[in-house]
Amino acid sequence: MFTTKLTWSDLVYLSNGALVTIELTVAAMAIGTALGIIFGFIRAGMPKISMPLAWFLDIPRCVPLPIQFVLFNSFKTVIGIKWSAFTVACFVLGLYTASYCTEVVRGGILAVPGNLRRASRSLGLSWWQDVFYIVIPLAVRVGFSGWLNLTLSVMKDTSLVFWIGIIELLRASQQLNIRLNEPFVIFFLAGIFYYVISWVVSNIGSRFENKWVIND
């Protein structure tokens, strides 16, 4: 007969860890998307001039996240920034997200046919009108699936913030398992939490894509 030592308070503890995972994901995607849009337009419009920016964005992509968390958490103490570990995690994950989101945005912009843009300008549209009415709508459709996959990837990468002492879903699961020694039950529940979060994000993304198809 199946029995478990898990209590209601343990489930609440896991739920709180899942909430931290969601908060980190939302914050990272908000920061990363905002910076990614700005950097993406710069990289697409001025590829040669913006090479230093491309080299800078290579750093978050190439250096493992645990190293970034630990280094920045230590560096903020050296320079006297009084940020909490959660703020540091949001900042690091935000830059990490921005490095990938920049390429998603840049790819979406470059996917817009040049002839289409020239045609819009020949019809009297200004540069800003061309960007808002031609480039952005098409680039969003092209890059949306990549942005959605990036969101799911960042959600799973939040599990690495335990390196700076933050208790999110995976860390909460590990702590419960150390205390109760029930890995199957605990990590099964953690997997369900991750699945539900991913399912909600994917479902919302599918609804947007279906609306675009219907409008076409």
CA gap 202, 216 in Å, rounded: 21
Domain assignment present for residue 3? The answer is: no
pLDDT surpasses 90 at 201: yes
User: According to the model, what pLDDT value does residue 2 have?
Assistant: 61
Range of the domain at 187: 8-215
Question: Is residue 51 classed exposed, middle or buried when 0-12, 13-18 and 19+ CB atoms within 10 A define those classes?
Answer: exposed
pLDDT surpasses 70 at 214: no
Paired tokens of 132: 């808002």
pLDDT surpasses 70 at 157: yes
CA gap 119, 123 in Å, rounded: 6
pLDDT surpasses 80 at 121: no
Domain assignment present for residue 131? The answer is: yes
Residue 183 maps to which CATH number? 1.10.3720.10
Domain assignment present for residue 145? The answer is: yes
Domain assignment present for residue 75? The answer is: yes
> What whole-number percentage of the chain has pLDDT above 90?
66
Q: How many domains does the chain have?
A: 1
Of 157, 146, 148, the residue nearest 202 (C-alpha): 148
Domain assignment present for residue 2? The answer is: no
User: According to the model, what pLDDT value does residue 131 have?
Assistant: 85
Domain assignment present for residue 1? The answer is: no
b (16+ CB within 10 A) / e for 84-111 = eebebbbbbbbbbbbbbbbbbbbbbbee
87: Cα within 13 Å, side-chain hemisphere = 5
Q: Per residue in 10-31, pLDDT tens? A: 999 999 999 999 999 999 999 9
User: According to the model, what pLDDT value does residue 216 have?
Assistant: 57
Domain assignment present for residue 200? The answer is: yes
